[in-house]
Structure 1
Amino acid sequence: MTKFKRGVKFFILFFFSTSIFSVLVLGFVPITFTPLMLIRSVEQAFDGEFPVAKRNWNSYSNISPNMVLAVVSSEDNKFPEHYGFDFVAIERALKHNSKKSKKIRGGSTISQQTAKNVFLVPARTWVRKGLETYFTVLIELTWSKRRIMEAYLNIVELGNGVYGVQSASEFYFEKDADKLTKSQAALLAATLPSPLKRDPGDPNGKLRRKQALILRIMRKVKEVNL
Structure 2
Amino acid sequence: MRILYHLPLSPASRKVRLVLSEKRIPYEMRLERVWDRRAEFLDLNPAGTVPVLAEENGLVLADSYAICEYLDEAYPEVQLLGRTLGERAEIRRLTAWFDGKFGREVTDNLLYEKQMKRLLGRGNPDAGALRAGYANMKPHLEYLGWLAETRGWLAGSTLSLADLAAAAHVSALDYIGDIEWTMSDAAKDWYARVKSRPAFRPLLADRVSGVNPPSHYADLDF
Do both share a fold (TM > 0.5)?
A: no
Larger of the two Rg values belongs to structure = 1
Q: Greater relative contact order: 1 or 2 (C-alpha under 8 angstroms, separation 6 or more)?
A: 1
The two structures have a TM-score, normalised by structure 2, of 0.27
Greater strand proportion: 2
